[in-house]
Amino acid sequence: MTLALLCLAIPCLWVFREFLTTGTDEQHPLRFFISAFADFLTFAIWAFIALLLLALAINTAAFAVQTLRARRRRALAWPQDMDRRRVVPLSVTLEQRDHPDRTRE
């Protein structure tokens, strides 16, 4: 949403600058400063858009690396998990299975 608003602001700034900077110095004595300010705002918006896209790329890469590491960790841990898995007979209740140290009353 922010990116879309910033992309719409750039043409508005260009129209603003063109509208205010047309004419003679008598009509707009601060024409140079208005033009420079509009150019600065346009540059600042483009720089902010570039930073947003860079942050998005970094975040995407970090998420991909994190996902790959988690998959690798699970793949490496799978044989050990199979050895530790308990086989519970059907006659054991869920409470006994979840708390094997408790005895039947």
- Top-confidence residue, 59 or 37: 59
Residue with tokens 């043409």: 11
pTM for the model: 0.48
User: What is the spatial distance between Cα 67 and Cα 73, in angstroms, rounded to a whole number?
Assistant: 10
Higher-scoring residue by pLDDT: 52, 13: 52
For residues 4-16, give the mean pLDDT.
73
Q: What is the dihedral of CA 48, 51, 52, 58, to 10 degrees?
A: 180
* Cα 40 to Cα 46: distance, rounded to the nearest angstrom: 10
Q: pLDDT at position 74, please?
A: 75
Place of tokens 């608003």: 5
**Given a cut of 60, is residue 28 above it in pLDDT?**
yes
pLDDT interval class at 54 (50, 70, 90): very high
Q: What is the pLDDT of residues 72-88, one digit of tens each?
A: 877 776 655 555 555 65
Domain boundaries, the chain: 2-83
Q: Do the beta carbons of residue 48 and residue 34 sit within 8 Å? A: no
Q: Where are the alpha helices (DSSP H) in 1-105?
A: 2-21, 31-84, 94-98
Single-letter code of the amino acid located at 51: L
- Per the prediction, the chain carries an average pLDDT of 73
